[in-house]
């Protein structure tokens, strides 16, 4: 009931970059938006770059006072807080059950309200200069286009620093070790050129085949690696005994 009543009020206030768990938006749409943006860059002669940003323990770090500052509704905030407190669970495996445990996360990931509250909590994310964000819940792909590697490396570094400042104010923890960068281009001579981007004191991994929302991409958007992975996955499910030979 609370979720249904919150939806129509919150939906117009959310940033357009956020597509997670919103009406008329899906993972497929967001992947299409990202790849179309990259292909448009190809046609304009740009070399699009993308950073797939990872946040650690996202749902553990939600501060309940943020919804109040955004809505200025004390009763609504207290209702949301009460709905998220003292959540208990047990695990059942092979007919045996564990003892009841209390959920330590501020937002249980299977809660109906969790995604909506997280979208409210992160609604003030900045849009770095000359960049475009593709958000789905806590999965962010930051895309920047430029003519040279050096230009994009500088823009991407500054953009990540701006995001890091926002995350820290919201008590969110960036995870540079799991954040990846990738270059999309059609230049064979630059096929093995790697991006040199540092974030929070760590050099980010330059991945030739990053995965975004379950789809494996490559520098020329051929989807060869994704098709290979999908084929292997289907074969292993149809013939599971082959994997044990």
Please report the pLDDT score of residue 66 as a whole number.
64
Which region among 31-40, 101-110, 136-145 has the lowest average model confidence (pLDDT)? 101-110
pLDDT digits (tens, 9 = 90+) for 111-128: 667 777 778 778 888 889
Please report the pLDDT score of residue 105 as a whole number.
54
pLDDT exceeds 70 at position 17: yes
pLDDT digits (tens, 9 = 90+) for 191-202: 777 888 888 888
The residue with greater pLDDT, 57 or 215, is 215
pLDDT band at 245 (very low <50, low <70, confident <90, very high): very low
pLDDT exceeds 90 at position 23: no
pLDDT band at 134 (very low <50, low <70, confident <90, very high): very high
Backbone angles phi, psi at 169, to 5 degrees: -65, -30
User: What are all long-range contacts of 24-33, with beta carbons under 8 Å and residues at least 24 apart?
Assistant: 27/136, 27/213, 27/214, 30/134, 30/135, 30/136, 30/213, 31/212, 31/213, 31/215, 33/134
Please report the pLDDT score of residue 112 as a whole number.
65
pLDDT exceeds 70 at position 18: yes
pLDDT exceeds 80 at position 146: yes
Rounded-to-integer distance, Cα 154 and Cα 196, Å: 9
pLDDT exceeds 80 at position 225: yes
**Beta strand residue intervals within the chain, DSSP E:** 49-53, 55-56, 88-89, 92-93, 96-97, 101-102, 131-136, 139-144, 173-174, 180-183, 198-199, 202-203, 205-206, 211-212, 215-216
Rounded-to-integer distance, Cα 187 and Cα 205, Å: 21
């Amino acid at each position: 009931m609370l979720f249904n009543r919150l939806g129509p009020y919150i939906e117009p206030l959310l940033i357009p970059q956020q597509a997670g768990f919103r009406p008329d938006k899906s993972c497929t749409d967001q992947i299409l938006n990202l790849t179309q943006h990259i292909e448009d860059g190809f046609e304009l002669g740009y070399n699009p770059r993308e950073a797939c940003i990872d946040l650690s323990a996202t749902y553990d770090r939600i501060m309940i006072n943020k919804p109040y500052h955004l809505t200025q509704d004390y009763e609504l905030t207290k209702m949301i807080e009460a709905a998220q407190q003292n959540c208990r669970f047990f695990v059942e495996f092979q007919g045996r059950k564990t003892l009841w445990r209390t959920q330590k996360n501020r937002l249980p990931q299977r809660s109906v309200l969790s995604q909506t509250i997280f979208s409210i909590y992160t609604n003030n994310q900045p849009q770095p200069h000359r960049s475009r964000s593709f958000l789905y819940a806590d999965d962010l792909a930051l895309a920047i286009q430029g003519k040279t590697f050096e230009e994009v490396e500088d823009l991407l570094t500054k953009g990540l620093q701006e995001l890091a400042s926002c995350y820290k104010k919201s008590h969110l923890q960036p995870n540079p070790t799991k954040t990846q960068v990738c270059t999309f281009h059609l230049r064979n001579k630059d096929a093995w050129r790697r991006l040199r981007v540092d974030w929070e004191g760590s050099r980010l991994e330059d991945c030739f085949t990053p995965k975004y929302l379950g789809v494996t991409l490559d520098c020329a958007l051929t989807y060869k690696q994704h098709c290979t992975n999908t084929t292997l996955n289907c074969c292993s499910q149809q013939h599971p005994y082959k994997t044990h030979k």
